[in-house]
Amino acid sequence: MKQTLIFTHKTFLLIPFLILILQSITFAGAWTEKKGGGYYKLSFRYLKADKIYNSYGEKVAIPDFTDITIGFYGTYGLTDKITLSLNASLYKNVKLEPTSFTQNIKTDVSGFGDIGVGVKYGFAKIGKTIFSTSLKLGIPTGKYEMNTGFPGLWTGRKDFNQTVTLEAGHSFYPASFYLTGLIAFTNRNEGFSDEFRYLIEGGYKLGETIAFIGRFHGLVSLKNGNDNVYGGFGIFQNNAQYYAYNLEIVYKMTKNFGLSAYYESGGGGKNIISAPVLNAGVFYTL
């Protein structure tokens, strides 16, 4: 069913969605960790927006919206072919500039966000190309509040969801370059539409300490949910669609420790915030 919203001072608050949801695909490539190996990252993400794409793909002005998230992502190689993962928002603050239109909702909400747990299995290798599949579970541990006539600010997605992913990656070794891609299907409940995701990623290592990673990815709603389910204001909107691209720089300080940062933008959105995303973090590898 197609969702149609008309912009008035009472309904325009029902539309936006964050360009990078917490349990969206975590960029890790098709490769699994070696047995006993791992990757652990603490990150800081910042987004500020004054526009959204509405359900027709048009940009519309909104009060200033800010999302600050401190997140943790970790992987552990249970075997050479099986990798476990954990993705969590340790702290999330979502804020909306108070206006006469926001008097019925909280304009500043902070707390723990959602948790994502997963398992990846490398099931085939042909030459320098590896194939893997994964199952990821989105656990709704974040805050959400339903208001009459207005959605509130949420720190989580509200629903328990399941994502099945198929990935393929190719190494061009001895050249310091790789390509990887994935497609994924997310089954959602609580009236939210199911989702299809895709990603193409390429990385190049410059010397022993610096690497560059570029990504192009997107989200497509299957629009098979409940038209009356809108999601939270600013993030976790139902029936969101977008394509996005980012460039990440990785700096290896020591054998095990490093820093990373990326800038992301996008377009072609529906029911989604129109703003760039900044992310920086420190990681440890085994």
pLDDT digits (tens, 9 = 90+) for 3-41: 333 333 333 332 233 333 333 445 568 999 999 999 999
Binned at pLDDT 50, 70 and 90, residue 150 comes out as low
DSSP state of 159: S
Domain count across the chain: 1
Q: Print the domain residue range for 76.
A: 12-285
Cβ neighbors of 164 (< 8 A, separation 6 or more) are 133, 134, 135, 184, 185
Any idea what the CATH number is for the domain that residue 112 is in?
Answer: 2.40.160.40
For residue 240, being part of any structural domain is answered with yes
Contact 84/118 with Cβ under 8 angstroms? yes
For residue 91, being part of any structural domain is answered with yes
Query: Rounded CA gap, 139 and 162, in Å?
Result: 9
User: Which two structure tokens, joined as six digits, stand for 271?
Assistant: 């029911």
**What torsion do the CA atoms of 199, 74, 278, 68 make, to the nearest 10 degrees?**
120
**What torsion do the CA atoms of 92, 98, 99, 100 make, to the nearest 10 degrees?**
100
Span 242-286, pLDDT tens digits: 999 999 999 999 999 999 999 999 888 998 889 999 999 999 999
Q: Which residue has the higher pLDDT, 75 or 149?
A: 75
For residue 2, being part of any structural domain is answered with no
Contact 122/131 with Cβ under 8 angstroms? yes
